Every structure is written in C-alpha cells, then in structure tokens.
Amino acid sequence: MTRSKPKYKGDAESSSDEVRERSVAELKEEGIMVGGLKRKHSDLEEEEEKDGKWDWSPAGLRNYQQALLRISLDKVQQRSLGPRAPSLLRHVLIHNTLQQLQASIHMSTAPALPPEPLFLGEEDFSLSATIGSILRELETSMDETESPQNQVAPTGLQNEVLPQPDPVFLEALSSRYLGDSGLDDFFLDIDTSAVEKEPALAPLDPPHSLFCAPGSWEWNELDHIMEIILGS
C-alpha cells in the first residue's frame, strides 16, 4: 500500500535518504533546529508548547502519532544502510518508542488490525520490508478510521497492558542485528564431525571460571534463528 500524503513539504515521494540529508543540510546551513518537517512540526511543537502536557484533541494526537511513526520508520530504515554496525542502544530506544506508539494507536483506532506475519522463509531479511509494511498498515488503518469516539488519554498509557510486541518486527530486528548474511549460517550447527577430515586437536580443558570465549554466543543465536525460520 502506498502512502497518499506527501511526507514533507514540496516532496511527493521522497526516499528516506533524501529526507534525512535534507534535514541535516538544512540544519547545517541554518545552524538551527529546522528539519524537513518544519511545516508539520512547527504546528506540532506549538501544540506541544501550548499545553506542555498531554491534553490534546484526538485529531491533534493522531497527527502527532503519524508524524512520530514516520520519523521512527525513517530511523529504522536508516539503520540498515551504511557499513557500520548499528547502535544497539539506539535500536532498543526506538523500538520501545515504537511499541508505545503501536499501543496508543491500537487504543485509538478500532478494531486493531493484526499485521500479517511475513513468511521468513523468503530470503529477504531486509528490515525495511517488514517494518515498512506493518507500519504502513497501521497508518492506513489510522487514515481510514473516523476520529475516535473516545478521548484518548495518553496518561493512561502507563496503566494499560501493552499488547504483545509484534513478533515479525522483533524477529526481523534481532536477526538483522545479528548480521545474518544468508542461509549459509543456518547449517553451522549441524554436526559435521563425521565428515570433516581434519585431525582432531586435543580438546582444551573447559574453563573453570566464567570465561568470555569469543564465538560462543553465536551458537545460541543460530539455534534461535533456526527456530524462527522453521517455527514461525
């Protein structure tokens, strides 16, 4: 499903890269905090400043949630670009924020659309595909719904039980972080000792204390990945 509204002023379908670069370029140029979202965000900021607290009209809140969703989606897509390992701290903070957004969106729209889990047997572990489709579904469900009957009270967020974290979202995130490069890795936990011709070296004594042996974590992760592939 495609987004019908232009994301940023004067830009019909900008890629996340362009949007990000424009924001940064504008920032640098003007040396002030004006991103590409100025038109939408100055409205949002004014609203935010006016009240300072969470006492908004449903429409205002929905716009705000939509903007935050789009920003978060950009960030998640950004992360999969670039040669450097992503920051786990940033990933966890964005993910937790997205969860809160999902929770409040589910509260404000009825009924909540459970996202279709993607079949992970396909080779595409790309983050953008899974997150993008889930969040686009949420956005369109928000667009289509009438303004909600109930006044959304975000202060109730902390009292509500958050819905289960979206499994596909999280699995994709965790597998991407682990840096899986393909299906080759999945065969590593299969015992090939009968096949290998190399002479067996004398096994090292198991450590008596807790050593941090490099590589040991990977074996747990591969089991986990196998479960996802086969079990979901």
- The binding site for another protein (CB under 8 A) comprises 23-24, 27-28, 31-33, 35, 37, 41, 44-45, 48-49, 52-54, 64, 67-68, 71, 75, 83-85, 87-90, 92-93, 95-97, 100-101, 104, 154-155, 157-158, 165, 167, 170-171, 174, 177-179, 181, 209-212, 214, 217, 220-221, 224
Are 173 and 90 contacting, i.e. CB atoms less than 8 angstroms apart? no
Tokens of 184: 């080759």
| Cβ(44)–Cβ(59) below 8 Å | no
Closest approach, Cβ 139 to another protein, in A, equals 16
Nearer to another protein by Cβ, of 44 and 118: the residue is 44
Say if CB 66 and CB 52 are below 8 A apart: no
Residue 188, exposed/middle/buried by CB under 10 A (0-12, 13-18, 19+)? exposed
Lookup result for tokens 């089991």: 223
Q: Would you give the DSSP letter of residue 191?
A: -
Residue 69 CB, shortest distance to another protein, in Å, is: 10
- Strand-pairing partners, residue 8, are 11
Cα 40–34–26 angle (5° rounding)?
Answer: 120
Nearer to another protein, 134 or 199 (CB): 134
Q: How far is the CB of 205 from another protein (least distance, A)?
A: 13
Which of 24/230 has CB closer to another protein? 24
Residue 42 C-beta: closest distance to another protein, Å: 9
Complex with another protein: residue 158 or 194, whichever CB lies closer: 158
What is the rounded distance in angstroms from the CA atom of residue 228 to the CA atom of residue 129? 17
In the bound state with another protein, the residue whose beta carbon lies nearer, of 84 and 197, is: 84
Token pair of 231 as six digits: 């079990």
Nearest distance in Å: CB 194, another protein: 25
Closest CB to another protein among 15 and 87? 87
> Which token pair is 146?
């009438």
Minimum gap (Å) between residue 153 Cβ and another protein: 11
- Alpha carbon distances (Å) from 101 to 41, 68, 98, 112, 230: 17, 8, 5, 13, 30
| 180 secondary structure, DSSP code | -
